[in-house]
Amino acid sequence: MHFCLNANAQIVENQAYEIGICGWETILCPFNGKAKIGAEVTTCRYPEVEQSGRGLRFAPRVYFNADWKVFKNSLGYYYIVHDSSGLYLEVNAATPVKGSKLILGKPTGTGNQQWKILPAPSGYYILSKLGNDLYLTMRGGQLSMQEYSNASDVCQVFAENLACPYVSVLEESGYTDISEILRNYRYKGMDKYDSIDIPNNFIKNNHLNIRIQERKPEITYIDEMYIVVNGTRINPRICSDKIRMNDNDYLTLEKDDSIVLDFELPAVSEIKSVKLYAKGYYVPFNNVVTNIDEHKKDK
C-alpha cells in the first residue's frame, strides 16, 4: 500500500496515494477508471510491459482515478476513500462472505465501509470490520474478500512503498518535511514536470534552503529543479549543473541520498507565491536494473 508512513510507522491520514498490491506493478482502481456509485474496484497493471524491437521495455500508462485517502474513525477502523470522487471502498455485501467483491459506495459509515489495517511482512493486511477475518485479496488479477492464505498465486500483502523523493525546508531547528515531489512519476515514460507549493513562512530574510531526499528503495532521476516566486523563475545558487536545465542529463538519487538547493529570493514588498518545480521520474528498486538499461538507451 502506498500509504505515507511517519517516523513511528503509522499511517498518515488525508494524503492521496495509490494502493499497490504485492509490490509496485499492480494498483487498485475503479473498473475502466470510472468512479461512480456501485463501480467495481479492480486492479490495474502498472507499468504495462510490451514487446519491442529491443526486447521487453516498460510502457507506463497513467491510471486516472487511482489515488485513495485513508481516514481513521473514533472506533479505530479506517475508511479508504477514492480521492477524486469522495466515494468509499466497500464490500459489496451487507455481511461480507468469502468471495465478496469490492465496489465504490457513497459515504455511509456502515460496517462494510470500515477496514482494519494490520502490519504484515513488508507491508499491511487489509481486513473488513465485518468480515470474520476475511482479507482483501488479489488472485488472478481479481479482487475479493478471502480467508488468509500463503499460496503462491494469492496476494494479501499491500506494499508500504511510497513515491519519493521527500521535500524538506530548513528552519532554525533543522529540516521540516513539507511534501513529496514527482509522486507517481514512475519510470522514464513519465518523465515530466511536477510542482508543489512552498509555504511563505519558510522564507527567512529572502532566503530559502530546500533539501531533496530519497528515502525509499528506488532511484530518482532529476533533470531540472527551480522555484518560481511571484511568477519569476529562480535557479538555485549552488547545486549540480545536472539540474540547471532540461537537457536529459540526470542527477540520480538512491536510497538515503540527498541534495540541498539554496535559493536567494528577490527583495520584494510581498511574496505572494512560491512553487518548487522538478522534472524527472523515479524507478522502484526491483525494476532498477531493467530501467537503467532503458534510461541509457533513450538518452
Q: Which residue has the cell 542527477?
A: 251
Q: Looking at the whole model, is its pTM more than 0.85?
A: no
288's enclosing H/E stretch is helix 288-298
pLDDT digits (tens, 9 = 90+) for 52-65: 333 333 333 344 56
Please give the residue that has the higher pLDDT: either 52 or 144: 144
Distance CA 80, CA 29 (A): 12
**Which of 35-39, 237-241, 293-297 is the least confident region?**
293-297
Distance CA 164, CA 182 (A): 7
Q: What is the pLDDT of residue 175?
A: 92
Domain map of the chain by residue range? 26-159, 166-298
Q: What is the pLDDT of residue 269?
A: 75
Q: What is the pLDDT of residue 16?
A: 64
Residue type, 117: I
**138, 21 Cβ separation under 8 angstroms:** yes
Beta bridge partners of 288: none
Task: Taking residues 169-182, report their average pLDDT.
Answer: 87
Please give the residue that has the higher pLDDT: either 168 or 157: 168
Q: What is the pLDDT of residue 6?
A: 32
Beta bridge partners of 258: 213
- The grid coordinates listed for 30 are 475503479
Q: What is the pLDDT of residue 32?
A: 76
Distance CA 142, CA 71 (A): 25
Q: Report in angstroms the alpha-carbon separations of 44 from 27, 32, 142, 143.
A: 5, 9, 10, 11
Q: Which architecture characterizes domain 26-159 according to CATH?
A: Trefoil (2.80)
Please give the residue that has the higher pLDDT: either 124 or 137: 137
